[in-house]
Structures are given as C-alpha cells and as structure tokens.
Amino acid sequence: MFPLKDNIPTTTFPIVTVALLIINVLAYFLWQKGGILNGPSDANVVDYGWIPYEIKHPGQQCIVQGNSIACGEGVPDQPSVIVTAFTSMFMHGSVIHLAGNMLFLWIFGNNVEDSMGRIKFIVFYLVGGIAALAGQTLIASGSENAVPLVGASGAIAAVLGGYILLYPRARVLTVIFIIFFFTLVELPAMVVLGIWFVEQIAFGAAGLTDPAGDGGGVAYFAHIGGFAFGLLAIRVFAHRQNPAYNNGRPQSAVV
C-alpha cells in the first residue's frame, strides 16, 4: 500500500512544507554528499545522526573507527546531542529513504500546515521529530544504543498523527500491490494511515522479540513516538477549518 495524493486542497500555499522538502533534498545531496546509487559516508551519519548512547551516557560520544562505531569520553570536535537532535531530522541514508519520506510529507504536510499556520507548523514538526527520537531512545538497548538515527520520518509521523484526526475521511489515492500486479484505489485516510501505524507497532514489537535486536534498519519506535505526539498535540496547534473538507470529501461548488 503506497499513497500518492489526497483530495483535500489547501487554502494557502504550503511554503513551510515546500521549504522542508527543499532543505531535506539539499541536505542529502550537498551536505551529506549522498548520490542516486550510493548513500552518504558513515562518518557523516555518525557525526550528525542522533545516537541514543550519547544521551544515555552524558559526556561520551561516538565516532566511526574502522568498520565499527566506538563510543567514549574525550572525543574531539563532535557536535552535541542538542545539535544532532535537529540535524538528524534532515538527514537520510539513501535516495529511496529520502524520496519515500518526502512523498509522505508532501501529501499530508500541506494540509496540516494549512490547519495551524506556518510558525506553529514549524514548531509542531520539530517537536514531533524530538518526540520521535525520544520514543526510539527509550526502547533502544544493547548495540542499538550506538546506532545513529537519521531521517525525517519521525517528524513526518507526527504530521500523519495530526492528519488522521483532522481529516479521517479524506480520500487518499493509493497504490495497492498484489503480487506482480498493482491497482489504484481511493481509501479513507483513516484506513491508509491506520494501517501504516498498526504496521509500525507490529514491526516494532517483532523487533523487541528478536534476540539479535534487528529491526531491519528502521526505527519503528521513532515512528510510533512521532505519531503519538501528533495525535495528542494536533488539537493544541490546529485552529483552522478547511472549507473543502466535509465528511472527508471536497464540497461541490454550485453554479
């Protein structure tokens, strides 16, 4: 299941959503030096990604050492956890990782921005990203503590949590894959995002029972933490009603 677009137009141009898209793309290609076929360097990801170990062990930091990550005290010229809490939200591990996150941000971010205005949306997005990092940090253990977290998906999960409460019956054009075939179907946002959230819980729970702690490289509890923040905080931030939304469908103009 892969969403393509929703049917709720915005009342104003989503300048913050567009700016976030541009910043993420530029950060990947120009700052991280990532490419289409190759991802960014491990050193860049470790230096500026969020590492749970560093928050759980104050004064200690992690760096790339050979083919592994070494953590300890006295590591020079490393950014603080305050810096990496924000830089990690604008980093990605591959162009596919970037493209998937930006698609979700574009589909659902513009309407959430529309519901609260630009300044509030910036705050909502960044705090949602921090809530996502907190969710993964709380659950990380063992070797996972030294695995850097990068990506906008935690902050975007907060956007999804807000969207599902604001526009539960909005229609989302979705690609559904059936073995080697696919079809396009319009589904309620409640179904599309509800299934997505249940998947995060299921995969996250499966990772907890995996003796190797292998979550496939995906920080599911960051998604859960961000989504939960969006559910809880959206009514505090959102104050605008979209006139195009009426029981999940755009209103028809009478002429």
Domain membership of residue 15 (yes or no) is yes
Q: Measured between alpha carbons, how far is residue 137 from residues 89, 146, 225 in Å? A: 14, 10, 10
Asked if 236 contacts 146 with a C-beta cutoff of 8 angstroms, the reply is: no
Domain membership of residue 107 (yes or no) is yes
Q: What is the pLDDT of residues 98-132, one digit of tens each?
A: 999 999 999 999 999 999 999 999 999 999 999 99
Domain membership of residue 254 (yes or no) is no
Domain membership of residue 226 (yes or no) is yes
- Domain residue limits at 152: 2-237
- Residue 49: how many other CB atoms lie within 10 Å: 20
Give the total number of structural domains in the chain.
Answer: 1
Task: Tell me the pLDDT of the chain averaged across its residues.
Answer: 90
Q: What is the pLDDT of residues 199-253, one digit of tens each?
A: 999 999 987 765 444 445 789 999 999 999 999 999 999 998 888 886 545 443 3
pLDDT reported for residue 216? 53
pLDDT reported for residue 214? 46
- Rounded to 5 degrees, φ, ψ at 50 are -85, 125
Q: Which residues pair with 181 in a beta bridge?
A: 178
Domain membership of residue 21 (yes or no) is yes
Residue 39 belongs to domain with CATH number:
1.20.1540.10
Say whether pTM exceeds 0.75. yes
Q: What is the pLDDT of residues 132-191, one digit of tens each?
A: 999 999 988 877 788 999 999 999 999 999 999 999 999 999 998 887 788 899 999 999
Asked if 189 contacts 163 with a C-beta cutoff of 8 angstroms, the reply is: yes
Domain membership of residue 136 (yes or no) is yes
User: Is the pLDDT reported for residue 36 higher than 90?
Assistant: yes
Domain membership of residue 162 (yes or no) is yes
State the maximum Cα–Cα separation within the chain, in Å, rounded to a whole number: 71
Q: From CA 230, how far away is CA 254, in angstroms rounded?
A: 35
pLDDT reported for residue 30? 96
Domain membership of residue 251 (yes or no) is no
Per-residue tokens: 3: 């969403």
